[in-house]
Structure formats: structure tokens, C-alpha cells
Chain A
Amino acid sequence: MTGFSPWLASHLDSLMLWIGVFCTLGFYSVLYRENRVYRFFEHLYLGLATGVLLVEAWNDVLLPKWFDAIFKQGEWWWIFASIVGLMYYFIFSRKLNWVARLAIGFSLGVTAGQEFQAFTNNVWPQIPKSFKPLVPHPALYAPNPLHLPPKAAEAAHIPLLYPQVTVPDAINNIVFTVVLLCVMSYFFFSFEQKSRALKGTAAMGRWLLMFAFGAIFGSTIMARLALLIDRVNFLMTDFGSGVMGPPGPLIVFFILFALCGLMLWMSLRARARGEGTDEPS
């Protein structure tokens, strides 16, 4: 065992690179279709993730907050938490599953009770932020004895009552308020939208929703592409240069280029033979 530790320490970085490359290419094989290699890495990934869940549950929660609290600080009442936790396991018995419902009832109550705070934190501050002036007006300073013009008042640090609202600001505020009203009117369910006005605002609301969803789609693409660029950088630069030196990136690129060609050739061949390429092997 003594030879293993220094060997592991010295080869740690290259081992990490090789494991990373195998995992990355193993998962990218699903881009062709579901296959045995993908299935193997999927189950390995599931095992690792569940293992980390177990480790984090013990190291981060149970050890410091329950085990140490009871056996080191002597706070014995935390045992009730584990009793309630174990009550969940009675769900498997037909006769005693009301015990599990008692524990589930406790968790439900905690979740429901915290919703009041969640509602206030999520939405409440946004209401005053929606108070936008719709008509342009000059900046207004607190009444001051000398009736200073705006420029001088600002210099004299007299408190500002209302910031200046220019014409473009007013137009933006009108657009903001109209969009807010139309989209909210789309989400009323309990009265028939008979009147033409209401039907119009609801239809406008749905169009504005699609407008907003297109904007969200476009703006999210940047973040996803950044992650793909990082993965390709990992394969070509980190792995390529790390293991094969300066020509590494080019070599890795051509290997990946060949893999793409293979994938396309196999899908064209499958399509020519008329079998749907979406059948998992």
C-alpha cells in the first residue's frame, strides 16, 4: 500500500484527465443514439451521484448537527428528529403506514407554513418597483427657501423628490405597464372573457408571452454555448496539451472529427436501410 500513495499523488492529474475524457466521450455517444456505452456511464453516474448524496447527508448534516450535538454537546433531544425521520420507513407496512403519514404531515406543515415568507420575498418587493410614472416631468427637489433651479439645488445637495422623467422614460414606462396588464389579464380563469376588450387584452397577453419566451430562449443560448465551448476546450486544450504536448489539440480535433464522420456515416447507412435510427441497440 505504501507504493500506491505516492504513485497516486504523482499521477493524479493525468488520471483525472483520462477519466474526464472517457466520461465526456461516453456521454456524447448518446448524440448518435442510446447505446451500451452511454448506459454504462449513465448507471455509473447514478451510483456516484447517489453515493455523494449519502456522503453529504452524513458529513454535512447528520454528523455535525445530530451525532455531535447528541454525543458531544449532550443535547439528547435531537433523537426525536431521527425518530420522526425513521417513521417515514413505516410506509412499507400496510397496517402501520399511518405512522409514515404522521411524519409526512409534519414535513407538509413545515413546507406550507414557510410559503407565506416565500410569497412575500418573491413578489412583494416587485409591486412598488412597478410604480412607474407614465407622464414626463422635470426633476423635482424638496421645497427650499431660495427656490434654487435644479442645477444649483443638486449642487447644494437638497433632497430629490422625484427624478426627472424624460419622454423616452415615459414611453418605456407605458410599454412596461401595458405589457404587465395584458399578461396578467391572460391568467384570469374564473370569469368568461365575453367582452371584446377583455378578449383583446387576453389575446395580446398571449402574444406578449410568446414575445417574452422568444427573448428568454435567445438570451439563454449564450450560457449553454459557453458550457459547450468549455467542454471542447477541456478535450482539446486540457487533455490534448496535457497529455500530448503542443500538437495535442490538433490531434484531438482530428480524432473528434473522425468520430463525427463515423456518426454521420452510420446514420446515413441506417437511414438508407430504412430502419429508424432511433431504436436503441
Chain B
Amino acid sequence: MNVLRFLQTVDRRLLYALLFLTVAIPLLHPIVVPTVVLGRGPLGWLHPTFALRPFVLPVTVSPSTLMVYDEIQSLPPNSFVLLAPDWAAGSRGENGPQTEALMRHLMKRHIRFAMVSFDPQGPIISEAMAKRLQDQYGYVEGVNWTNLGFKVDQQDFLKAFVLDVRGAAPQDYNGKPVASEPVMAGIRSAHDIRLVIDISASDSYTYFIKFMQGPYKENLKMAAALTSVMAPEAENFVSSRQLIGCLVGLKGAIEYEHLLGVSGTATAANASLSAAHVLIIFFIVLGNVAMLLERAARRREDQE
């Protein structure tokens, strides 16, 4: 009986330790599965070769993530995109992988992009992230991408930016004049911007809709990547086609990396996420089974 009692009252610190392990281990090294590949050897004999292939968890992609992916996939190379990382370290858990996944896709498709942020920490974090990724895709700051840095007042900046890009953001994050950068060649106003993506933990995307997507509907589309707490409020913007799609929390980043066929921070986090969910469900079921068994045992004792 005391085993059943123990299973119902496991010390919470054991649960905390197990949760830490289930989250930390997949982050250390992607889960690999030993696989045997049967091939024909030189003499035609069966020749098994052992390999450690990463265990790829199946991911079903939600429509709103797919729409963002299709939109970027359909953009012709060398078109111009405005990426706006409006988030701070506090929501890095969800907005970080989203920014990384979107950057990878833009770089993979050879699309020029500029970054602007209305949160003081946005430019610092996104600059470091872009520098980390640019070598993998042969991107160079100033040539293929640039960072326009932090702008204090979102409304005033957007009103000026749509009319005159160079006037509103004369210098980039490192102080170099924007006019001299090849990435901004031919970019005069909002008419030259094909897509705007706002990555945020607040409702800053509504200002983008009001000042950029609304007045320039015919040639400029807008997408968003939001934390899972803020995403429900954006649903009616997606259904009214003002937002062509929206990445929802860490799951959106996981789905996007799955579409890209890349295993970045989001894919590693997916393994931790799934393992942690299984751990929680396992302990809920364990507690209930032990309780029901103990109740049945006690009822049997009462009858005797």
C-alpha cells in the first residue's frame, strides 16, 4: 500500500529535477536514432551500414504559418522585405526562434531585408542573430541585409518612413549612411517594399497595419509572429486578410523550421517541448492510477 501512497505523493523536487532533465538533454544534442541501411556491397552481398540519423519529430503545420511560408517562398529573389523585431529579452523564448526561422528563410531565398525595432533591445539581439546566420547563407551586412536600429516613437517613424525611407532612417545601427548601402538601392518609399513582418510580444503590429498595410494594400503585404498569449487577438486580422498569416509562439517557429527543413533552436526546443509534455501527462496519469488502485484496494479491505 505504501508504494501506491508514495506514487500519489511524489516529492515535488523530484518532479522539478525530472522536468529540468527532460528539457535540458534534448538541447544538449539533437536526439539521434541508430539506423541500419541495407545496401549492396562490392561483391553484391547485402552490406548493412550503421548510421545515426536525427530522430525528426513529425510536425503538422498550421495554416497561418503555411501562409507566411508560401508568401516568402513566392517572393522573387532580390525583392525587399522589412523585418521588425519588436521584442526584448523577456519574450526571447518565443520570439527568438521565430526571428531566427524567418531570417533563415529570407537568406535562403536571397531576399534583401532591413530590420527596424521599436524596442531598445530589439536591434541588439537581432543584429547578433543576423551576424551568426549570415555566414551560412553567404550574406553580408550592408549588401544583402541591414539593421536600421531602434526608433523611439513607432507612429511618427512609420508616418515618415512610408513616404521617404532615406529621410526617416538616414543611418543604420552601426552609424553608416543608409544611402550608400547596396541593400537599400532603389528603395525610396513603401511602394518598393513587398512584405512587412512584425515579430512582437505586444500589439505593435496594429500600427504597422494602420500606417503601412492599410494605405499601401495593393503592393505591400503584412505578416506577424506573435507570442502565444498575444496571438488570439490577431486572429480577426488574419481572417480579414489584413495579415496574410501569423506565427504563433514557439510552435509557429517549430513549424516554420520544419517547412525550411532546417534544425535550428526551434527544432531542438521541439524535442524538449514534446518530452516535457509527455512527462506532465505521465505524472498526471500515474497519480490517478495510484489513487484509483489504492481506492479499490481499500474498498476490498472494507468488504473483508
Contact = CB atoms under 8 A, between A and B. Distances in A.
Interface of A: 31-32, 219-223, 225-233, 236-237, 249-250, 253, 256-257, 260-261, 263-264, 267-268, 271
B272 A222 contact: no
Interface string B70-98: 00000000000000000000001110100
A264 B23 contact: no
Which one of B16, B17, B277 has the greatest number of beta carbons of chain A within 10 Å? B17
The binding surface of chain B is classed by DSSP as helix
Contacts of B21: 257, 260
A245 to B, nearest CB: 15
Interface in B226-241: 227-229
Nearest to A240: B28
Contact of A236 (B28, B251, B273): B28
A222 B13 contact: no
Given A227-B93, A229-B269, A230-B92, A253 B11 contact: no
B229 A226 contact: no
A125 B229 CA distance: 20
Interface of B: 11, 13-14, 16-17, 19-21, 23-25, 27-28, 92-94, 96, 227-229, 249-251, 265, 269, 272-273, 276-277, 280
Nearest to A233: B27
A250 B96 contact: no
B17 A263 contact: yes
Nearest to A263: B13
Given A225-B272, A232-B23, A256-B20, A264 B250 contact: no
A228 B23 contact: yes
A222 B23 contact: no
7 cross-chain pairs, A with B, having the tightest CB-CB distances, nearest first:
A230-B93, A226-B250, A260-B17, A226-B93, A227-B93, A223-B228, A229-B269
A32 B15 CA distance: 11
Contacts of A268: 11
Nearest to B271: A229
A267 B17 CA distance: 12
Contacts of B265: 233
A257 B28 CA distance: 13
The residue in A229, A236, A250 that gathers the most chain B C-beta atoms within 10 A of its C-beta is A229
B13 A31 contact: yes
Given A221-B280, A222-B251, A264-B14, A236 B94 contact: no
B280 to A, nearest CB: 7
Contacts of A264: 11, 13-14, 17
B31 to A, nearest CB: 15
Contact of A226 (B11, B17, B27, B94): B94
Nearest to B25: A253
Nearest to B231: A223
